Amino acid sequence: MLEVSGLSLHYGQHLALDSVDVRAAPGESVVILGANGAGKSSLLKAIAGLVRPDPGTGIRLDGQSILTLPAHSVVEAGIALVPEGRGIFGDLTVEENLLLGAFARRARDDEAARRDLVYELFPRLAERRRQIASTMSGGEQQMVAIGRALMSNPDCLLLDEPSLGLAPVVVVELFQALEKVHKAGVGLIIVEQNVRISLSIADRGYLMEAGRIVGEGAAGTLIDDPAVQRAFLGMG
Amino acid sequence: MTLINVLIAGLVLGGTYALVAMGLTLQYGIARIMNLAYGETIIAAAFAAYLLQGALGVNPLLGMLLVLPGGFVFGYIVYGLMMRPLVARSQDRGNLEIDSILATFGLLFVIQGVMLVIFGSNYMSYSFLNVPVTILGANVAANRLLAFVLALTIGLTLYLLLTRTRWGTALRAVAVAPQNAPLVGIDVNRTARFAFALGGALAAAGGVVISMYQTFTATSGVVFTMKALIVVIMGGVGNLLGALSAGLILGLVETGVASYIDPGLTLAATYAIFLAILLWRPQGLFGGAGR
């Protein structure tokens, strides 16, 4: 269980997150919806240890506080982030990216089996394992990023706008892969602007606005929620 | 001198340049520390080999087994004491470079001063394997040949470690994308410290190799820092094979100029190459880090 409670975050004077409460049960798939600048990325960065939240914040994984852990230790605790912009090692090959994905000690057992799984999930990566990652298409780079994160044997995978800048057909392919990852028991927290497709693989969702959580519900009810339709689907 | 003689002398010198440059490229490319006291570490190791050989009768090959780990430990301690505070307060890479240049400029004079007090300012050398070997009709001192073989062996071993192992790949990842390394669980500070220490071990290896066939003095460190820096920039910062090739090229050019034109123009030729690269290929002859 990942529990975020009272998470506030300042960038200088600017309040990016205002006592945000979010939780995700083990293996649960949670989507966080919100416009640009709502604080979605900041939320994921805070969980991943990349930014330091204000005092009084609680971030717990299975009851243990991970609030003060440096980013590299958060990976060891079982949380892997696929950041906006992907964060892959562009100068290294696909294979080397996956090798480093399993850098954490928790990833060393069953590494070979996990690599086979990633290649099964993304056959394109298997074909191009010796290619330098930065020379690949955007969709393929996103596959490298997700594959690399999966190599760390995460309990919970954080994804920051995985669909950004990708062709619709590639987005569908990616979310089919993410659905398989979820079915294999890995928890997902996805930040997205692509509401329809992200809700389609989610169990639950949150709505964010100006650094606050303004709504929460099961994925099936959110898609029919008038507020969601107005804000994101251009209806009403 | 015959052409063969010049080529062999150039490769021997170039191998040494390559070896010391690989250490600097690790320190600069991965740990992001521009270490101006690098040459002093080389000379300190040369003195250590001299003492081991002269006072204790330990030959430099065995001596290397002591001096190499010594260089590693020295680098590890220097990073912990001097560099970590700078890394902690630097907001970006530019700040760290300036701070580390200033800090290691001071360190240069501390190490040099200690060596001057202990060894004085005389040129030192010792005799080791000073017997001629004939290669392709040219006579070469066995110690120079050994120096070349050692430089290549150490350089290629390091290259294989960096490209074929997980931690080597992690070091390269920190060189090319330090901001992304924590995402896979790499502790960037620890990796930087390790790379800096490894650079110290390579400097020490270079010092021992140099002491086998060259004379040296407490103040010759700065020459090696400059040459290593030129080779690093020629090869592309963080690029090990680039450093290896650029080192050999520089050695060949220097020896060629000294033999066929005028020994007095050696340094001028070196800096002409350096200038040309800075102007036309600032990313290095072989591109940047990572490979």
Q: What is the pLDDT of residues B120-147, one digit of tens each?
A: 888 888 878 777 888 777 778 888 889 8
Q: What is the pLDDT of residues A166-182, one digit of tens each?
A: 999 999 999 999 999 99
- Measured at the CA of A44, the angle between CA B95 and CA A90, to 5 degrees, comes to 55
What is residue B134's predicted lDDT score, i.e. its pLDDT?
82
B157-186 per-residue burial string, b: 16 or more CB within 10 A, e: under 16:
ebbeebeeeeebbbbbbbbbbbebbbbbbb
pLDDT digits (tens, 9 = 90+) for A4-32: 999 999 998 999 999 999 999 999 999 99
Q: Which residues pair with B71 in a beta bridge?
A: none
Supply angle C-alpha A219, A220, A226, rounded to 5.
Answer: 95
pLDDT for the residue B286: 77
- Residue of B184, B186, B188, B240 to mutate when probing chain A, most A C-beta within 10 A: B184
- Tens-place pLDDT, residues A52-74: 999 989 999 999 999 999 999 99
Domain ranges of chain A: 26-50+67-232
In A181-235, where do the E strands start and end? 187-192, 204-209, 212-218
Over range B250-277, report the average pLDDT: 90
Given a cut of 90, whether residue A139 has pLDDT beyond it is: yes
- Cβ contacts from A onto B, under 8 A: 71
Could you report the per-residue pLDDT of B78-109, keeping only the tens digit for each?
A: 999 999 888 888 877 788 888 999 999 999 99
Domains in chain B and their CATH numbers?
A: 3-280 (1.10.3470)
Chain A residue set in contact with B, beta carbons under 8 Å? 48-50, 70-73, 75-76, 80-81, 83, 87-92, 96, 99-104, 107, 148-149, 151-152
The fraction of chain A above a pLDDT of 90, given in percent, is 83
On whether any CB of chain A is under 8 Å from the CB of B168, the answer is no
Contacts of A76 in chain B (CB under 8 A): 185
Q: In terms of Cα–Cα distance, which of A154, A60, A141 is closest to A107?
A: A154
Complex-level ipTM:
0.91
Q: B29 vs chain A: nearest CA distance in angstroms?
A: 14
Closest chain A residue to the Cα of B162, Cα to Cα? A96
Average pLDDT over all residues of chain B: 89
Q: Which amino acid is at A32?
A: I
H/E segment holding residue A200 = helix A195-200
Structure tokens given for A139: 């969709």
Q: For residues B225 and B203, give the distance between their C-alpha atoms in angstroms, rounded to a whole number.
A: 10
Asked if B180 reaches chain A (Cβ–Cβ under 8 Å), the answer is yes
Distance CA A26, CA A103 (A): 23
Q: Per residue in A81-125, pLDDT tens?
A: 999 999 999 999 999 999 999 999 999 989 999 999 999 999 999
Beta-carbon contacts of B122 under 8 Å, excluding residues fewer than 6 positions away, are B217
Q: Give residue B87's pLDDT.
A: 87
The radius of gyration computed from the CA coordinates of chain B, to the nearest angstrom, equals 18
- Looking at residue A186, its pLDDT comes to 95
- Confirm if B68 and B201 have CB atoms less than 8 A apart: yes
Please tell me the number of Cα atoms within 13 Å of A226 on its side-chain side.
1
DSSP string, A70-133: -HHHHHHHTEEEE-TT----TTSBHHHHHHHHT-SGGGSTTHHHHHHHHHHH-HHHHHTTTSBG
pLDDT bucket at A143, cuts 50 / 70 / 90: very high
Residue-level pLDDT at B291? 47
How far apart are the C-alpha atoms of B246 and B267, rounded to whole Å? 16
DSSP calls for B163-182:
HHSHHHHHHHHHHH-TTTGG
Q: Which residue has the tokens 């990016």?
A: A16
CATH class of A26-50+67-232: alpha beta
